[in-house]
Amino acid sequence: MNERYQVSVSPHVRDNITTQKIMLAVIIALMPSCIFGIINFGLHALLILVITPAAAVISEYAYEKLLHKKVTVGDLSALLTGLLLGMNMPPEIAWWIPVLGAVFAIVVIKQLYGGLGSNFMNPALGARCFLIIAFSGQMTTYTSNGGFINKVWDVPATTDALSQATPLAYLKLGEHFDLTSLFLGNVGGVIGETSALCLLIGGLFLVFIKVIEIRIPAVYIGTFAVLTVITAAIRGYNDPFIFMLEELCAGGLMLGAWFMATDYVTSPITPKAQYVYALLLGVLTWIFRLIGKSAEGVSYAIIFMNCLVPLIENYTKPLAFGIVKEKKSDKGKEGEKA
């Protein structure tokens, strides 16, 4: 018999989708927010969005070359990590800080744990939290230089840089912020999070082309929305529903829910686990934002839940085909018969 059979472990599903295509689709989905961030904050934002992905790609290439590993920069995962990290940077931050963060994301969080598929937390968010701890002053100073914000807010042309409080700082005090500005992005913040509209367009694009399922962002945002409107009503805020919408459009919730919480590597696989994961994400974000002292909490919520994914999957794993779970009552009856 000359006929040979190919034997391999499961799963045996075949598809023409590749890691490179998935990463490219996410990068394309992020482009509206990146372009708006550049228009909003000026050329320094463009610099950050260029050098941070470049540093991530160079770090991965250098690490794999030095350790004589297969070079994987072609899968675009390092490029995407660097882009997400750049989008999470304040617009006027010193260029070397996100570069350092990109090296940390790729080498420490991704490669030291075995590369793509082995990291236990989202590399971009892990690097952002590292930078917040190491450079808290620079990472929490939000300025604009020229950009669209100054035109909308009529900032004098002689002002080179304007330090701004983020909308979340106002919302933390129970004050309202203009919802239209929050939705469109005419506000201060990090480069890629200000326009909820652009992020929503990108997220729905990924759902439409079936790169991500809508269950994680929908349950995450929905859980946070319900808890927020209840909290606002209990505290006696004016227009609790409007306050909830302002919380949804402010800060990094949209960026985190659509593009980071849905990361293939660090999020659950099964639908049941994804529902639990997203529900707890909404609860944690609500605790960090509205109960705790911090105005923001998306990054910490996602990283914390990344660490709990193995535990969630262990308790929500589906039964194998043909296996029927025994009921406690049935076990009791068997014991009585014995």
**Are 235 and 174 a contacting pair, CB within 8 Å?**
yes
User: What's the mean pLDDT when you consider all of the chain?
Assistant: 86
pLDDT greater than 70 at residue 82:
yes
Q: State residue 316's pLDDT score.
A: 86
Residue 259: band (very low, low, confident or very high) from pLDDT cuts 50, 70, 90: very high
Give the long-range contacts of residues 5-8, CB within 8 A, separation 24 or more.
none
Nearest to residue 277, comparing CAs of 303, 252, 295? 303
- 177 φ/ψ angles, rounded to the nearest 5 degrees: -130, 150
Q: Cα–Cα distance between 199 and 298 in angstroms, integer?
A: 15
Nearest to residue 53, comparing CAs of 90, 88, 10? 88
**Strand ranges for the chain from DSSP E:** 142-144, 162-164
Separation in Å, CA 131 to CA 21, 60, 97, 285, 321:
30, 19, 8, 20, 46
- 133 φ/ψ angles, rounded to the nearest 5 degrees: -70, -45
**Are 30 and 254 a contacting pair, CB within 8 Å?**
no
pLDDT greater than 50 at residue 83:
yes
pLDDT greater than 50 at residue 225:
yes
Q: Cα–Cα distance between 7 and 234 in angstroms, integer?
A: 61
Q: State residue 140's pLDDT score.
A: 83
- For the chain, domains (ranges, CATH) are 19-316 (1.10.3430)
Lowest mean pLDDT across 162-171, 226-235, 237-246: 162-171
pLDDT greater than 90 at residue 25:
yes
Separation in Å, CA 238 to CA 46, 188, 289:
38, 23, 18
Q: State residue 115's pLDDT score.
A: 86
Mean pLDDT over 278-288 rounds to 96
Q: For 49-77, what is each residue's pLDDT tens digit?
A: 999 999 999 999 999 999 999 999 999 99
Mean pLDDT over 269-273 rounds to 93
**Are 266 and 281 a contacting pair, CB within 8 Å?**
no
Q: State residue 322's pLDDT score.
A: 58
pLDDT greater than 90 at residue 336:
no
Tokens of 157: 């042309």
Q: State residue 320's pLDDT score.
A: 65
Q: State residue 161's pLDDT score.
A: 42
Q: Cα–Cα distance between 84 and 81 in angstroms, integer?
A: 5
How many C-beta atoms lie closer than 10 Å to residue 335's C-beta? 8
Higher pLDDT, 158 or 204: 204
Lowest mean pLDDT across 10-19, 99-108, 165-174, 292-301: 10-19
Q: For 142-199, what is each residue's pLDDT tens digit?
A: 765 444 544 444 443 333 444 456 788 888 888 888 899 999 998 888 999 999 999 9
Q: State residue 157's pLDDT score.
A: 37
**Are 267 and 261 a contacting pair, CB within 8 Å?**
yes
Q: State residue 325's pLDDT score.
A: 62
**Are 169 and 14 a contacting pair, CB within 8 Å?**
no
Axis crossing angle, helix 298-316 with helix 271-286, rounded to the nearest 10? 150
Q: State residue 289's pLDDT score.
A: 93
Report the b/e string of 72-102 with b at 16+ CB within 10 A.
bbebbbbbbbbbbbbbbbbbbbeeebbbbbb
Q: State residue 54's pLDDT score.
A: 97
Mean pLDDT over 229-237 rounds to 94
Q: Cα–Cα distance between 177 and 305 in angstroms, integer?
A: 29
Decide: helix, strand or coil at residue 9. Answer: coil
Q: State residue 337's pLDDT score.
A: 53
Q: State residue 175's pLDDT score.
A: 86
